[in-house]
Amino acid sequence: MQFYEIVIIAVGLAMDAFAVSVCKGLSLGKIKAGHMAKAGLWFGGFQGLMPVIGFFLASLFVGFIDQWDHWIAFGLLFLIGGNMIREVFGKEEKQDGSMDVKTMLLLAIATSIDALAVGVSFAFLEVNIWIAALVIGVITFVVSAIGVKIGSLFGSKYQKGAQLFGGIILVLIGVKILLEGLGVF
């Protein structure tokens, strides 16, 4: 596999993390560099780690991952997005931006399930997994950090609408992953 092919794959894998990062930026409103770095580290770290795990465990789990990856990603994104939507219609409460460890861990896992499956496919190709993982992680870090900034530029005036939009986007990403996994697209 050529380097440019790994870059294209990395950009494709980073798109879910970008969409989630934009939603995070929308819900945060005013952001700091730490918010951008936190999103980048969570998403970039998991996007870089998952292909390595998939690569080394491919022989044991290839059938399971292919069969269930879309259901796992859908479930996690549906729960997180649904919770965001529910909060919009609930009682007014102070928003903390939802960048706590539990939320970020679930989002990082949900957006990197595809990267796990890519790692499995890398095991059957001539790919240096360490270079591929580094490229995927770095590109996702940058794209996620930029996504938080882009989201913040539009979110401070429209907090409730932004949170609703973010929840809907997460649910739709989950549905897209599920439909692709089921072969509808």
pTM of the entire predicted model: 0.72
Q: Determine what percent of the chain is predicted with pLDDT higher than 90.
A: 28
pLDDT at 59: 63
- Identify the domain containing residue 96 by its residue range: 3-181
* Total domains in the fold of the chain: 1
- Which token pair is 43? 């998403």
pLDDT greater than 80 at residue 166? no
pLDDT at 24: 87
65 confidence band (pLDDT: 50, 70, 90): low
96 confidence band (pLDDT: 50, 70, 90): very low
pLDDT at 36: 96
Concatenating the DSSP letter of every residue in the chain gives --HHHHHHHHHHHHHHHHHHHHHHHHHH-S--HHHHHHHHHHHHHHHHHHHHHHHHHHHHHHHHHHHHHHHHHHHHHHHHHHHHHHHHHS-------S-SHHHHHHHHHHHHHHHHHHHHHHTTSS--HHHHHHHHHHHHHHHHHHHHHHHHHHHTT-HHHHHHHHHHHHHHHHHHHHHHHTT--
- Whole-angstrom distance, CA of residue 35 vs CA of residue 29: 11
Which of the pair, 27 or 3, is modelled with greater confidence?
3
Average pLDDT of span 162-184 = 78
Average pLDDT of span 75-85 = 77
pLDDT at 124: 73
